[in-house]
Structure 1
């Protein structure tokens, strides 16, 4: 079958929602949850690291409810519980009892909350440029969530996303802009995070006492120069999560997986390989 776009994977029914998901590679499964920028899809977020990760494991990367090529609820209601139910629906439909979980930004907030609510479904956790604790709304995040479609505006956003703009070219700006104006995309996006926007950071945050009790081995990754999610948010998560390690990149903005794709994939593979080895030793 000829695929119209590399952003299209396969369509599954997850918790009753038609869901676009990329499912590639074999072995221990890892699920990737994308961020919440305008025009985002799983493919746009993860395309540079999926091949490397899929060379060692099975990679599952859904377009989350209301994003990309997945269904948009008619009631346009979006919240953490609904997104988590959708993510669990993906795992159930693909018969994945337990996965390693990688969350980017908004996706990190969901990944953390999912691990707290369904600890047995997650083996190891990776949070990248993640929300999950409360912090004051940044100008960068306000601009991302308040996006009004134009190519110029998208170019400006990419300047905020990336430390080194040469890594994030106008071709990507055009890709993301075109994605943001597809039928239904902006309508659902505008319904997700209307102003005042501090409440959505707080909605995506998890209870700090619960985070302190999180049992999972967790890798936290952040760009030191992130203008969207402050580095302090990851420092706070590192402070709270007992079994955490923190890796920070200097001269890096919000898109570690794009600005440092190779290093990011290597970090993730190494971290998950440790878990593979520990399991093999036990068996």
Structure 2
């Protein structure tokens, strides 16, 4: 890999009806929109940096900070609609059709987008996405990971960010401190994001019914960690039974951040899926 990409060198912003939205962009080829999760200090780059530097060899990657995260404008819970923002983003940048890759909350946004605007998606890829309905194996209430995520918003310290990195991962590894510091720096830089999140929680929009999920026509790749302590993998088992043109890759020794913990394998899966479906 010869490209030396950094968060700073790929940084851009765009004015949308939803507000000022920050994003990172690099590469050439079919557009791929990457949507981060809801954790404290989350940004497009922090969720997808290891993926962007490889995927840009084949695709144009847009890692978007959704309103309420990163360097994008703050937004109150009642005004937050990431599907609307994603559509505005595509329209403003002239992207007729794109592949969507979403982690956790970003996966939920991508799924809703596929239901509401299937003509604008070429491929749907999720990691650690949730599904509604009764749970057979996962927690009935907030999971261990969700509780630590919420604690991170309430207590913006390096200790809570280390806890966050640990619960999101099967093995935090040697980059534990760097990832915790990256999250804390982003969280402290925009305290208004934390206040708004705590005022309304994750507050997802109406989740599509099972009938509407079954009507998604887009080729779909679901990736989930067997050791995910934030969103149990049974959620992706449910999704793969409902979405007709879908397949599931379940990774052992993998937590909620499959795209980070298994970056090389994830990048290969994504490139092969987009190029051959």
Q: Map of 1:246-261 to 2, 5 A cutoff?
A: 246-261=248-263
Structure 1 pair 68–263 and aligned structure 2 pair: CA distance change class (3 A): same
Residue 200 of structure 1 aligns with which residue? 203
1:155 equivalent to 2:162? Answer yes
1:128 and 1:162 mapped to 2: Cα distance? Answer: 13
2:167 and 2:246 mapped to 1: Cα distance? Answer: 28
Q: Map of 1:2-21 to 2, 5 A cutoff?
A: 6=8, 9-21=11-23
Q: Map of 1:171-186 to 2, 5 A cutoff?
A: 171-182=178-189, 185-186=190-191
Q: Map of 1:41-52 to 2, 5 A cutoff?
A: 41-52=43-54
- Find the partner of 1:140 among 132, 138, 145: 145
Q: Map of 1:16-95 to 2, 5 A cutoff?
A: 16-73=18-75, 76-78=76-78, 82-95=81-94
Contact kept, 8 Å, 2:83 with 2:109, in 1: the verdict is yes
1:145 and 1:92 mapped to 2: Cα distance? Answer: 33
Structure 1 pair 72–50 and aligned structure 2 pair: CA distance change class (3 A): same
Contact kept, 8 Å, 2:48 with 2:259, in 1: the verdict is yes
1:232 equivalent to 2:234? Answer yes
Deviations 1:33-76 (A, max 9, x none): 11111011111111000021110011111110111011113xx2
1:128 and 1:161 mapped to 2: Cα distance? Answer: 12
3-state SS of 1:47 partner? helix
Residue 116 of structure 2 aligns with which residue? 117
1:188 and 1:165 mapped to 2: Cα distance? Answer: 25
Residue 126 of structure 2 aligns with which residue? 127
Contact kept, 8 Å, 2:101 with 2:124, in 1: the verdict is yes
Structure 1 pair 240–168 and aligned structure 2 pair: CA distance change class (3 A): farther
Contact kept, 8 Å, 2:165 with 2:180, in 1: the verdict is yes
Structure 1 pair 49–78 and aligned structure 2 pair: CA distance change class (3 A): farther
Contact kept, 8 Å, 2:10 with 2:25, in 1: the verdict is no
2:174 and 2:256 mapped to 1: Cα distance? Answer: 12
Structure 1 pair 22–204 and aligned structure 2 pair: CA distance change class (3 A): farther
1:88 and 1:132 mapped to 2: Cα distance? Answer: 22
If the length of structure 1 is used for normalisation, what is the TM-score?
0.87
Residue 278 of structure 1 aligns with which residue? none
3-state SS of 2:203 partner? helix
1:190 equivalent to 2:195? Answer yes
3-state SS of 2:21 partner? strand
2:54 and 2:214 mapped to 1: Cα distance? Answer: 32
Contact kept, 8 Å, 2:130 with 2:231, in 1: the verdict is yes
Aligned-residue CA RMSD in angstroms? 2.2
Q: Which moved more, 1:139-148 or 1:25-34?
A: 139-148
